[in-house]
Structure 1
Amino acid sequence: MWDETLYAGSASHYVSGRMPYPPQIATVLAETLRLDGTGRLLDMGCGPGSLTVLLAPLFAETVGVDPDAGMLAEARRRDDRISWRQSTAERVPVQWGPFRLVTFAQSFHWMDQPAVATRVRPMLAPGGAWVHVGATTHRGMDGADPLPHPRPPHDAIDDLVAKFLGPGRPAGTGKPGGEKDVMRAAGYTHLRRLEVASQVMTRTEDQVVAAVFSLSYATPHLFGQRADDFERRLRALLRAVSPDRLFSEHRREIALDIWVP
């Protein structure tokens, strides 16, 4: 069951703190699936519309679905031409279909995977596809190779969060690595995997701070009256690493797994 407090108060931080999806995602999906501005897109667990807005020009109509009202409010600010609807994936009416493409970007692990996989299948139009977007947008890869600016001190940031909130973190309901078994059991065939290469990103102190507050286990409301104190200590930690308040990191490669019924 969806926990309404999971991302409470994090939507604006999500928009400013998460690294954007690269335009290459739209390019490779358009070429592979022959997307030409027709048909309909359904983005499940769309959050503030980061992927939805990127892919919308490839379709005649786009629907973004998320259970969090704050996320949808941010999505509407981005593009009010898209149909933004509040619902859990488990309760999306099958009658909303058909869709040429259904996407899940960093969202499927929060859902009842077998139920959602089964529910979505009749919503796909003939020749339609389901795409899992595997990405990490709140932080980049660890490494020691030289970059234009220092890397954010992610381990130290995690330690600071733990000092304020303890070590426990919410987790999705899906089992790591079990996604393929769920999809095959629901009658899907894995068509192919596409990958978008990693890229060096420059991030400001404000963006790194926002990325922390965008996390389900570090949303602002969890800190209560200590939120300002946490942010002060977080910024002090970041400035000790990069006095000019700029950071660089490799955005992880993004995997696009395409499934067909």
Structure 2
Amino acid sequence: MNSGEWTWQWDETLFAGSAEHYAVGRMEYPAELAEVLRSELGLDGRGRLLDVGCGPGSLTVLLAPLFEAAVGVDADREMIEVASRRSSTIEWRQLRGEALPADLGTFRVVSFAQAFHWMDQELVAERVRDMIEPGGFWVHVAASTHRGVDGDDPLPHPRPPWDRIDELVAKYLGPVRRAGQGHLPTGTRGGEEKVMLAAGYQGPTRVSAGGNEVVERSVEDVTAAVFSLSSSTPNQFADDLPAFQADLRDLLTKASDQGHFSERTREVAAVIWRP
């Protein structure tokens, strides 16, 4: 999708009710990612990290030990509440990326993960540029952590039946992807590279980490993964939530190996820009 087609408008219900599910249902970023970024960026424990659109703090907590201090910001109040319970040494703030710089100061690294596509990209890229200290970096972590890689190679347990899960969601919510109180018939916004170059950033450099690890997931984990998505948050189902939960559990229980699934993790890529 190009920027001219982007018509969806932010609203506070985008991830309503999903924060607790997000923290459980999204697979962890590989620990190797922190080491790859430490090496690529020359991180030595100095400076500050700002994680924008931090959600429940998954990436923030992983990268924070590489810096003197870390700040995580997210527009969703419940996400910040969950993140605050994960770490008391990180500063957590509820605010949108568009509200930056918000007197937060400057940072050695500003990171984004699974969030930049929800923002006014041109505005955020411009405002963040002056928040990055000389020699610092913008890091966009591209990942899909709610589900693993599709395939038919043998695993210890069955893969979650994602096609049938998607069909069940569509049965309740309709065939057009939901997003808060609106819809995204053509998906989320792309075109980050064009935005970054227009905003005066240099790059990008791309690195990757993890992937191909086999993980075990429970019926509860997969259920949480479904509810972690903006297109199927608990809030989206309204009065139909109990019925959907019952149908989803029935589907997953029948498809699992005594409540167990296996998935192969995806590679996580990091795109690095310099102001």
TM-score by length of 1: 0.96
Q: Distance in 2 between matches of 1:185 and 1:173?
A: 23
Shift of 1:184: 0.5
User: Match of 1:235?
Assistant: 249
Alignment map for 1:1-261 (pairs within 5 Å): 1-93=9-101, 95-169=103-177, 170=179, 171=184, 175-176=189-190, 178-198=191-211, 199-261=213-275
Pair 188,94 (structure 1): closer, same or farther in 2 beyond 3 Å: farther
- For the residue of structure 2 that corresponds to 1:4, the secondary structure is coil
Shift of 1:227: 1.1
Q: Distance in 1 between matches of 2:120 and 2:266?
A: 26
Q: Distance in 2 between matches of 1:220 and 1:174?
A: 20
Q: Distance in 2 between matches of 1:113 and 1:49?
A: 21
Q: CA RMSD in A?
A: 1.4
Shift of 1:197: 3.2
- For the residue of structure 2 that corresponds to 1:95, the secondary structure is coil
Pair 241,103 (structure 1): closer, same or farther in 2 beyond 3 Å: same
8 Å CA contact 2:158–2:257 kept in 1: the answer is no
Number of equivalent positions: 260
Q: Distance in 2 between matches of 1:69 and 1:63?
A: 15
- For the residue of structure 1 that corresponds to 2:146, the secondary structure is coil
8 Å CA contact 2:24–2:224 kept in 1: the answer is yes
Q: Structure 1: which amino acid aligns with 2:226?
A: V
Q: Structure 2: which amino acid aligns with 1:246?
A: H
Q: Distance in 1 between matches of 2:112 and 2:187?
A: 15
8 Å CA contact 1:99–1:125 kept in 2: the answer is yes
Q: Distance in 2 between matches of 1:207 and 1:100?
A: 35
Q: Distance in 2 between matches of 1:3 and 1:64?
A: 20
Q: Structure 1: which amino acid aligns with 2:271?
A: D
Shift of 1:121: 0.4
Q: Distance in 1 between matches of 2:99 and 2:67?
A: 24
Structure 1 unaligned spans of 5+:
none
Task: Give CA deviations for 1:8-53 in whole Å, capped at 9, x if unaligned.
Answer: 1100000111101111111111111111111000000000000001
Structure 2 unaligned spans of 5+:
1-8
Task: Give CA deviations for 1:60-100 in whole Å, capped at 9, x if unaligned.
Answer: 11010100000000000000111101111011126322100
Task: Give CA deviations for 1:193-218 in whole Å, capped at 9, x if unaligned.
Answer: 00113122211110000000111111
Q: Distance in 2 between matches of 1:175 and 1:83?
A: 29
TM-score by length of 2: 0.91
Shift of 1:174: 5.8
Identity %: 57
- For the residue of structure 2 that corresponds to 1:132, the secondary structure is strand
8 Å CA contact 1:94–1:119 kept in 2: the answer is no
Task: Give CA deviations for 1:231-261 in whole Å, capped at 9, x if unaligned.
Answer: 1111111121114111111111111111001
Q: Distance in 2 between matches of 1:104 and 1:50?
A: 11
Shift of 1:173: 8.6
Q: Distance in 2 between matches of 1:37 and 1:197?
A: 23
Q: Structure 1: which amino acid aligns with 2:175?
A: P
